[in-house]
Amino acid sequence: MKSNAVIAIHGGAGTILRASMAPEVETRYLDALNRILAAGQRILADGGSALDAVEEAVRLLEDCPLFNAGHGAVFTSAGTHELDASIMDGRTLEAGAVCCVKRVRNPVLAARRVLEKSEHVLFTGEGAEAFAAAQGLEFVDPAYFHTDARYRQWQLARGEARAMLDHDGATLEAKAAANASADSLPHEPIDPNRKFGTVGAVALDAHGHLAAATSTGGITNKQVGRVGDAPLIGAGCYADDATCAVSTTGSGEMFMRMVAAYDVAAQMKYRGVSLSEASTNVVMEQLPRIDGRGGLIAVDAQGNVVLPFNTEGMYRGYARVGEAPVASIYD
């Protein structure tokens, strides 16, 4: 019997730079998405849990400097890094999250430990780091999160005297390209100055259980202590075996106000609509009412996968057990 087990991931949404995008850079992003999808797919193929699959996928996304989470996270207004992550088990409705951590290498691992080892759901700042240390998780010097490309984006944001949603600023891409060095990506498929940078994963395992996880470095030049939707259960992450698993990426404050991830599940539960209809309603109708931009990935208990977004593109992909992974960037 064919398995419905499937994993989907995202690495941020935003404006596409088709005119100046270098093919080799597009390939670099697609290769990263496919590699990470394959890792999650292997866990599901071996009978592993959806929770293990999303944790591993997000851990790998955090370790990849192409995306705004972990290594490659954006800078705060103080020139520091503050990282957020969450994870939820659709089987039990248990969840864990951390926010404003500065030295935990992989925040998603800390979120998983909160889910499993604590009676609480969310830890912040020094308390989150103390909990992670007590769990034996790996700590790094804050310099680990630095990349030259993110540093330049921060310098541009400071010049504009405002925060940028993983790097919102229509006129800054040319400046970034002019200042770029060899290790930067001035021709990223999605404009680094007009991109919402969050990563996430959702999965359905062979046992019929769902899970979701989300992680982010936040927004460039954000005020110290700002927290977006990524670590908030119901806003940036949600999973319930009875309905679906969701991970979001976009203008965090708007996703928080709409409780966007939970709204998808709630519409399925209370309106009786499909995953596709609920997700489309949230992304294409509800969020735009308050200028909410971005997208989400979701999977339901039957293995249906949706990846809607209201921007020009979103780093995304999915992989069903027994089939080749599928990764995309453009609309």
318 Cβ partners below 8 Å, 6+ apart? 6, 7, 8, 9, 37, 297, 305, 307, 325, 326
Which pLDDT does position 182 carry in this prediction? 34
**Does residue 313 belong to any structural domain of this protein?**
yes
The enclosing domain of 121 has a CATH number of 3.60.20.30
**Does residue 315 belong to any structural domain of this protein?**
yes
Percent of the chain scoring above 70 in pLDDT: 90
Q: What are phi and psi of 256, to 5 degrees?
A: -65, -45
| CB-CB neighbours of 42 under 10 Å | 15
Question: What is the mean pLDDT of the segment spanning 294-300?
Answer: 97
- pLDDT-derived band at 23 (thresholds 50, 70, 90) equals confident
Find the Cα–Cα–Cα–Cα dihedral 21, 23, 29, 34, rounded to 10°: 150
Q: Residue 281: pLDDT above 50? A: yes
Q: Residue 168: pLDDT above 60? A: no
Question: What is the mean pLDDT of the segment spanning 247-273?
Answer: 97
Query: What digits encode the pLDDT tens for the residues 84-121?
Result: 999 999 999 999 999 999 999 999 999 999 999 999 99
When comparing pLDDT for 58 and 195, which is higher? 58
Q: Residue 181: pLDDT above 80? A: no
Q: In whole numbers, what is the pLDDT of the chain averaged over residues?
A: 90
Query: How many domains does the chain divide into?
Result: 1
Which pLDDT does position 176 carry in this prediction? 46
**Does residue 292 belong to any structural domain of this protein?**
yes
> Considering 198, 220, 243, 248, which one is annotated as catalytic?
198
Catalytic, 198? Answer: yes
Which pLDDT does position 18 carry in this prediction? 65
**Does residue 186 belong to any structural domain of this protein?**
no
- pLDDT-derived band at 171 (thresholds 50, 70, 90) equals very low
Which pLDDT does position 188 carry in this prediction? 78
Cα-atom radius of gyration of the chain, to the nearest Å?
18
Question: What is the mean pLDDT of the segment spanning 33-39?
Answer: 98
Nearest-angstrom CA–CA distance, 296 and 282: 9
- pLDDT-derived band at 17 (thresholds 50, 70, 90) equals confident
Q: Is 227 annotated as a binding residue?
A: yes
Question: What is the mean pLDDT of the segment spanning 307-311?
Answer: 96
**Does residue 311 belong to any structural domain of this protein?**
yes
**Does residue 298 belong to any structural domain of this protein?**
yes
- pLDDT-derived band at 183 (thresholds 50, 70, 90) equals very low
Q: Is 250 annotated as a binding residue?
A: yes
Query: What digits encode the pLDDT tens for the residues 126-162?
Result: 999 999 999 999 999 999 999 988 888 888 888 776 5
Q: Which residues of 234-247 are buried (b: 16+ CB within 10 A; e: fewer)?
A: bbbbbbbbebbbbb
Nearest-angstrom CA–CA distance, 272 and 277: 10
**Does residue 172 belong to any structural domain of this protein?**
no
Which pLDDT does position 20 carry in this prediction? 60
Q: Which of 22-31, 40-49, 199-208, 301-310 has the lowest mean pLDDT?
A: 22-31
Range of the domain at 235: 6-144+192-330
Percent of the chain scoring above 90 in pLDDT: 77
Q: Is 283 annotated as a binding residue?
A: no
Contact 75, 111 (CB under 8 A): no
Q: Residue 61: pLDDT above 80? A: yes
Q: Is 249 annotated as a binding residue?
A: yes
Q: Is 228 annotated as a binding residue?
A: yes
Which pLDDT does position 88 carry in this prediction? 99
Which pLDDT does position 164 carry in this prediction? 55
**Does residue 160 belong to any structural domain of this protein?**
no
Q: Is 243 annotated as a binding residue?
A: no
Q: Residue 1: pLDDT above 90? A: no
